[in-house]
Amino acid sequence: TLDDFTEEEVEGILDVSIELKRWFKSGDLRKEASALQPLLGRSVALIFQKRSTRTRLSMETGISKLGGQPIFLGSDDIQLGVNESLSDSARVISRFNDVIAARVFGHHSVEELASLSSVPVINMLSDKFHPLQLLADMMTLKEYYGSENTKGRTIAYVGDGNNMAHSFVVTSPKLGYNLRVATPNGFSTLEDVQEMGRREAKNKGTDILFTEDAQEAVEGADVIVTDTWISMGQESEKNARLKAFDGYQVTNEMAKGANSDWIFLHCLPRKPEEVSDEVFYSDRSLVWDEAENRMWTAMAYVLMCQGDDVVL
């Protein structure tokens, strides 16, 4: 009730609060602390409107390893968009934390958070993009081929024109890859995202192709990648989708036009329909390295969001 405290005790708490606020907001002190552990004294709010294994664990573990405090906020736990508008939540959460990361349904939600938050906002997956996953995928390719040996290689994405496809479209040309995207009729990537990919490919002088023909996409490819045909939130469309995607499963037979040393990527979680066991569990499959790299790339990205006052 505070009735059980003396005046001195209450004043004491207020004075310590003012001192803590000064200490944590002082640039010099933050820099000093980060020399010991880069994220010491910093916290990252992790908002999840959808399930997650890799993203949650890679962020929680990675931030902890750097001395920071990850705070998991599931959709049942906070007021996000239920009793309080997203914009009011963003204003409040960014008063407590150094970074906000959010996994949302509509991409507009993460954009709204970003526009109202006073700290950096990271997209941990929206219905349109999955950028953190692409960092891990690109790291995996860089490790596998070597830094100097990635440009000019060809990636074939076969499957749903979803958040993963979109992130490949915006990221692969930027890093000098050629990209072919094969999606069935009615499930193509969005036109505005295709435009972003074409613009980037033109700047970089790489090829980009959108087709409904999976064989055309994999012809001469170095990397074949797919994702689930039924993303989170689309469970009720399962039957229609299984029918529409018939013929798009990644198998050795389907990939016979690819380069003989082609490799396979998948962000996980995987369901058997989009890729055969024979490919998924083969030596071509880099999916476990790809999953591990979620953590190293998440750590790098959170550090980058802290700017120059983090000492590495």
Task: Summarize as ranges the residues that interact with ligand NVA (CB under 6 A).
Answer: 125, 162-164, 227-228, 231-232, 267
Q: Choose between 93 and 230: whose C-beta lies nearer to ligand NVA.
A: 230
Closest-CB residue for ligand NVA? 231
The residues, any chain, with a CB within 8 Å of residue 12's CB and separated by 6 or more, are none
Is beta strand 178-182 parallel, antiparallel or unpaired with respect to 154-158?
Answer: parallel
CB of 145 to ligand CP, least distance (A): 22
Q: Choose between 101 and 258: whose C-beta lies nearer to ligand CP.
A: 101
Q: From CA 267, how far away is CA 173, in angstroms rounded? A: 19
Binding mask 38-57 for ligand CP (x = CB under 6 A): --------------xxxx--
Closest-CB residue for ligand CP? 55
Catalytic residue (one of 46, 155, 179, 267): 267
Nearest to 127 by CA among 108, 149, 111, 105: 105
Q: Choose between 34 and 58: whose C-beta lies nearer to ligand CP.
A: 58
CB of 21 to ligand NVA, least distance (A): 38
The CB-side HSE value for 11 (13 A sphere, CA atoms) comes to 3
Q: What is the CA radius of gyration of the chain?
A: 22
- Helix ranges (H only) for the chain are 7-25, 27-36, 54-65, 86-96, 107-116, 131-145, 163-171, 191-204, 214-218, 238-244, 277-280, 287-305
* Residue 231 contact partner, candidates ligand NVA, ligand CP, none, CB within 5 to 8 A by sort of partner: ligand NVA
Residue with tokens 């902890």, as numbered in its chain: 64
Q: From CA 22, how far away is CA 14, in angstroms rounded? A: 12
Q: Is 267 a catalytic residue?
A: yes
* Residue 71 contact partner, candidates ligand CP, ligand NVA, none, CB within 5 to 8 A by sort of partner: none
Q: Choose between 86 and 267: whose C-beta lies nearer to ligand CP.
A: 267
Site for ligand CP in 248-267 (CB under 6 A): 267
Give the three-class secondary structure for 36: helix
* Residue 164 contact partner, candidates ligand NVA, ligand CP, none, CB within 5 to 8 A by sort of partner: ligand NVA
- Helix ranges (H only) for 146-251 are 163-171, 191-204, 214-218, 238-244
CB of 125 to ligand NVA, least distance (A): 6
The reply to whether 126 sits near ligand CP by the rule CB under 6 A is no
By CB under 6 A, name the binding residues for ligand CP: 52-55, 125, 133, 267-269
Q: Catalytic residue positions?
A: 267
